[in-house]
Amino acid sequence: MKDINIDLNDLDINAIGSWPMPIRAAVIVVVCVLVLVLGYFLDIKGQQQNLGRAEAQELKLKQDFETKWKKAANLDAYKLQMKEMEKSFGTMLRQLPSKTEIDDLLVDISQTGLASGINFKLFKPKKEIQKDFYAEFPIEMEMTGDYHRFGRFVSGIAALPRIVTLHNISIKENSQGKDGSKTLSMRVIAKTYRYLDENEIAQLRATKNRNRKGRRR
């Protein structure tokens, strides 16, 4: 086999057909490789990206379908749960005193404190705060006693037939008395609640609507 010595400077780009066969074969191979590489980046890669997005969307649609299917399968259970929640809500609503029962409830709270052996230094009902469908009625209290009496008072409040919650409890030790005994002071805000009647709810919503319109101007 003869060695082929070719000077690339002697090749004429305009006369490729006259080039030696090894050179033409090498050029054809290079051109084919370039076509494949360009084809990948210009077409195949884009198709792979589209395929990846389509697969991700398919997975999301399957997950959405499974979620909706489970909800549909448990629809009866959800309806039953909703009825139980409405029943429970109605029971809690009946525990809220009406407007005319607030005074009686204040007396119950005061008597609970006296029955527990505590002494009231402050018992101050404050202005009620209306919420969406109920009103919050805070009572600021300060009392003296010991831990056992405070405990009886808290237990007595929890046992009332109406909902009363205790907030911002602060207990401090008083100075020692002449007989050597020490007492404690407790400050607390008790909150009771009452449901709003239909007229009050309508007035509250109208006021909120007016306030929102006023802020927009």
Whether the CB-CB separation of 136 and 193 falls below 8 Å is answered with yes
Q: 103 and 67, same structural domain? A: no
What is the number of domains present in the chain?
2
| Size (the chain), residues | 217
Tell me if 162 is assigned to some domain: yes
Question: Tokens 């009332």 sit at which residue?
Answer: 160
Q: 107 and 63, same structural domain? A: no
Q: 120 and 32, same structural domain? A: no
The DSSP output letter for 124 is E
Q: 113 and 197, same structural domain? A: yes
Separation between Cα atoms, residue 120 and residue 185, nearest integer Å: 10
Q: How confident is the model at residue 133 (pLDDT cuts 50, 70, 90)?
A: confident
Whether the CB-CB separation of 140 and 126 falls below 8 Å is answered with yes
Separation between Cα atoms, residue 21 and residue 99, nearest integer Å: 107
* Average pLDDT, rounded, for the chain: 76
Question: Tokens 């997005």 sit at which residue?
Answer: 53
Percentage of the residues of the chain whose pLDDT score is greater than 90:
20
**pLDDT tens digits, 138-179:** 999 999 998 899 999 999 999 988 788 899 999 998 876 566
Separation between Cα atoms, residue 99 and residue 33, nearest integer Å: 89
Buried b (16+ CB within 10 A) or exposed e, 58-77: eeeeeeeeeeeeeeeeeeee
Q: 157 and 122, same structural domain? A: yes
Question: Tokens 């909800």 sit at which residue?
Answer: 71
- Range scoring the smallest mean pLDDT among 40-49, 76-85, 115-124: 40-49
Tell me if 34 is assigned to some domain: yes
Q: With 60 as the cut, is the pLDDT of residue 135 above it?
A: yes
Tell me if 207 is assigned to some domain: no
Q: Is the pTM value of this prediction over 0.85?
A: no
| CATH code where residue 198 lies | 3.30.70.60
Q: 193 and 139, same structural domain? A: yes
- Using alpha carbons, select from 153, 141, 151, 165 the residue that is nearest to residue 115: 153
The DSSP output letter for 159 is T
Q: With 90 as the cut, is the pLDDT of residue 115 above it?
A: yes
Domain limits at 145? Answer: 99-202
Tell me if 80 is assigned to some domain: no
Q: 173 and 106, same structural domain? A: yes
Tell me if 119 is assigned to some domain: yes
Element housing 186 (H / E): strand 184-195
For residue 93, what are the contacts with CB-CB under 8 A and spacing of at least 6?
195
Between the alpha carbon of residue 145 and those of residues 71, 119, 135, 190, the distances in Å are 55, 7, 31, 17
